[in-house]
């Protein structure tokens, strides 16, 4: 019988040799000095060799335990080598059908038509909040309580809305797994009502004309860098989301045609969006063009011209001007324009909605709206810019008459 001391002191020789233990177990020492646990057995008249690992990673007692398990399989009429391959194949299949593997496949396919930011944000949230707990589990074996535990961790840090978003994403991944034949049911609907409700909050926006004038004067008097100052001012005139302003690219802007066309792949709703440029908007773009016009972005990052301005730049500028998050946000410029334009009763509400780039479910109608409302939107954005100028200067505002 082999002892641990003998195994430890065994030295390499010119040729491989064996140190026998008991019941067929032996330690094979190679010329390179490796010490390998082996067990020879016969099945159907054919000799086979089973490996139990490398010494000292697998000690003598562990090797004997593995030998015992192998001999039990033989006594039951099973081939331990075949059994090992079957277990390995089953584990490989489980790994291939793990939640993370399927989720990444879903992400690659499902997010292909989403904006880069949205796709990246979705994956980062999965990597941070879901994969550490569910990623390695076979998706088909995951039940509702496991998912709820993951969502409750997100809730615990006060991110209720994010917990609901994660729930929807997990549900979409399960539906994808069912469609591709790797799951038979989706446990996410079983969680209906299990999470805390989300309180719907709207982005704070200034809509009172007098206060809009005050904000305009503060922004036009802002003493930050030129890129921030121009992005800040342009936000009033284009009715765009903050991300669309800060990611503005010169290749999409035609100052001669007084038009900014954002391709669909850069828009939240994946539909090309046209922004007629008022005289005031063009003046702002002309002001910044000598500084950034040779690059890609109208408002590049202060750290690299290859990246757009930081998403917190306008919000930070608002805070430096003394406006809290309860008073005004970077998204608030859209609500400001929508409120005042709708209350003017000078423009078709559908034209206002189209300029806000809100989604149109019917693609035929969306295309029709783009053609039908563009002339009105051109007039509307110039009226809006003139109206803002009047508020900033503090003069009397005389609304334009609605043309036939």
CATH number reported for the structural domain that contains residue 320 in this entry: 1.10.443.10
pLDDT tens digits, 371-385: 568 999 999 999 999
Last residue of a domain, one of 43, 69, 93: 93
Q: What is the mean pLDDT of the chain?
A: 88
Question: Is 261 within a domain?
Answer: yes
Residue 200 lies in a domain: no
Domain finish residue from 158, 191, 224: 191
Check which CATH number belongs to the domain holding 155 and give it.
1.10.150.130
- Is residue 260 located within the same domain as residue 359? yes
Q: Which residues are tagged catalytic?
A: 241, 268, 331, 334, 358, 368
Q: Pick the last residue of a domain from 93, 122, 146.
A: 93
Residue 399: other Cβ atoms inside 10 A = 11
Identify whether 344 is part of a domain: yes
Are 225 and 347 part of one and the same domain? yes
Question: Which residue in this structure is represented by tokens 């090309």?
Answer: 272
Range of the domain at 120: 99-191
Residue 401 in domain: no
Q: Is the pLDDT of residue 394 over 90?
A: no
Residues 384 and 251 in one domain: yes
CA distance 383 to 392: 14
Residue 82: the pLDDT is 81
Q: What is the pLDDT of residues 216-242, one digit of tens each?
A: 999 999 988 999 999 999 999 999 999
Distance of alpha carbon 56 from alpha carbon 376, whole angstroms:
81
154 burial via Cβ count (<10 Å: 0-12, 13-18, 19+): buried
Tally the domains of the chain: 3
Asked if 346 and 245 sit in the same domain, the reply is: yes
Is the domain of 237 the same as that of 365?
yes
Same domain for 246 and 343, yes or no, is yes
Say what the pTM is: 0.56
Percent with pLDDT over 70 in the chain = 92
Say how many C-beta atoms besides its own lie within 10 A of residue 28's C-beta.
16
For residue 293, pLDDT over 90 is answered with: yes
Q: Looking at residue 20, which CATH number applies to its domain?
A: 3.30.160.390
15 shares its domain with 73: yes
Residue 317, in any domain of the structure: yes
């Amino acid at each position: 019988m082999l002892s641990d001391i003998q195994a430890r002191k065994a030295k390499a020789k010119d040729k491989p040799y064996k140190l026998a233990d008991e019941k067929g177990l032996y330690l094979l020492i190679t010329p390179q000095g490796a010490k390998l646990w082996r067990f020879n057995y016969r099945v159907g008249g054919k000799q086979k060799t089973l490996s139990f690992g490398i010494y000292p990673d697998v000690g003598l007692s562990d090797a004997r335990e593995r030998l015992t398990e192998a001999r039990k399989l033989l006594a039951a009429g099973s081939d331990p080598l075949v059994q090992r391959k079957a277990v390995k194949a089953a584990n490989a299949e489980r790994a291939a059908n793990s939640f993370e593997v399927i989720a990444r496949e879903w992400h690659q396919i499902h997010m292909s038509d989403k904006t880069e930011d949205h796709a990246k944000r979705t994956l980062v949230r999965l990597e941070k909040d879901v994969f550490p707990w569910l990623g390695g589990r076979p998706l088909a074996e995951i039940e509702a309580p496991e998912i709820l535990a993951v969502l409750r961790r997100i809730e615990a840090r006060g991110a209720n809305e994010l917990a609901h978003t994660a729930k929807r994403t997990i549900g979409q991944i399960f539906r994808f797994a069912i469609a591709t034949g790797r799951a038979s049911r989706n446990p996410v609907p079983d969680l209906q009502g299990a999470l805390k409700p989300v309180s719907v909050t709207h982005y704070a926006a200034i809509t009172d004309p007098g206060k809009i004038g005050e904000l305009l004067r503060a922004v036009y008097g802002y003493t930050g860098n030129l890129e921030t100052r121009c992005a800040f001012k342009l936000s009033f005139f284009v009715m765009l989301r903050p991300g669309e302003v800060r990611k503005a690219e010169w290749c999409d802007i035609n100052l001669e045609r007084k038009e900014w066309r954002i391709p669909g792949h850069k828009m939240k709703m994946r539909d090309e969006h046209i922004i007629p440029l008022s005289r005031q908007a063009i003046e702002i773009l002309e002001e910044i063009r000598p500084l950034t016009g040779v690059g890609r972005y109208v408002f590049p990052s202060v750290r690299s011209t290859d990246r757009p301005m930081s998403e917190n730049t306008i919000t930070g500028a608002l805070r430096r001007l003394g406006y809290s998050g309860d008073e005004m946000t970077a998204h608030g410029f859209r609500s400001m324009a929508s409120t005042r334009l709708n209350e003017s009763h000078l423009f078709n509400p559908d034209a206002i909605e189209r300029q806000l780039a809100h989604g149109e479910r019917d693609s035929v109608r969306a295309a029709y709206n783009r053609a039908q409302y563009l002339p009105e939107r051109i007039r509307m954005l110039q009226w809006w810019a003139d109206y803002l100028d009047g508020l900033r200067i503090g003069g009397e505002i005389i609304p334009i008459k609605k043309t036939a």
